[in-house]
Amino acid sequence: MTFVITEKCLGERYATCMQVCPVYCIYPAEYEGKVFAVIDPELCIDCGACIPECPVSAIIEDPEEDPKFAKINEELAPKYKNEPTPEPRPVTDPPRKGHV
């Protein structure tokens, strides 16, 4: 089991989750031409620290809730592993897609 970043992050990527992950396993990525972030299932220790940090509630605890995005996180993680962590967007910055 590992935590998963879902479609809600797509185009948003606040990156606030990356600041709190104790094992640095959340990587900035791109998917379908939009900014995104993925959790590396090889490294995630299921601590839950990232969950309350996401302003758009994009992180889920159970991969079975969203098998499609669980697979996307797993497939993209090796590619984006070494990307530098971006500056986080302020949480006061409204979601671009307007869903929370």
Which residues of the chain form contacts with ligand SF4 (CB under 6 A)?
A: 3, 5, 9, 12-17, 20-21, 23, 25-26, 37, 39, 44-50, 53-54, 56, 58-59
Structure tokens at 13: 């990527």
- Closest approach, Cβ 43 to ligand SF4, in A, equals 7
Smallest gap, in angstroms, from Cβ of residue 34 to ligand SF4? 11
Q: Is 4 helix (H, G, I), strand (E, B) or coil?
A: strand
Least gap, CB of 44 to ligand SF4 (angstroms): 3
Q: Between 3 and 31, name the residue whose CB sits nearer to ligand SF4.
A: 3
Q: Which of 36, 50, 44, 53 is nearest to 2 (CA)?
A: 44
